[in-house]
């Protein structure tokens, strides 16, 4: 499901069952992330699928990339794999108004 930044943030902040998922490359991820995001690079193909399959389907996933295109695709893939709650950040980190931090 595509959400505007405002909706994505308000839903995320109210969600006790949320997981932040960054589907950019490792280099992009290392340039700065939305706090607490985990990185699973969608460009890794089968490795991406395997990593997604290992995730807990009972959680709610807030997915982002650089511009919203890859994360939109990731959400589609997750929906096909049985994830009911995958939320795409429209506009991606390029349009992100919130804080960006260095990954730990």
Q: Which residues pair with 3 in a beta bridge?
A: 89
- Annotated active-site residue 75? The verdict is no
Catalytic residue among 42, 65, 75, 78: 65
Instruction: Count the neighbouring beta carbons within 10 Å of the beta carbon of residue 14.
Output: 8
Nearest Cα neighbor of 75 from 26, 42, 28 is: 42
Which of 96, 92, 58 lies closest to 74 in space, CA to CA?
Answer: 92
Annotated catalytic residues are: 65
């Amino acid at each position: 499901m595509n959400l505007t930044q405002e909706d994505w943030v308000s839903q995320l902040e109210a969600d006790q069952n949320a997981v932040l998922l960054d589907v950019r490359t490792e280099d992009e991820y290392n340039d700065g992330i939305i706090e607490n995001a985990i990185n699973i690079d969608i460009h890794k193909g089968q490795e991406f699928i395997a990593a997604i399959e290992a995730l807990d389907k009972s959680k709610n996933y807030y997915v982002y990339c650089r511009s919203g295109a890859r994360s939109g695709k990731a959400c589609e893939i997750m929906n096909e794999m049985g994830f009911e709650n995958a939320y795409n950040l429209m506009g991606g980190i390029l349009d992100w108004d919130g804080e960006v931090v260095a990954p730990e």
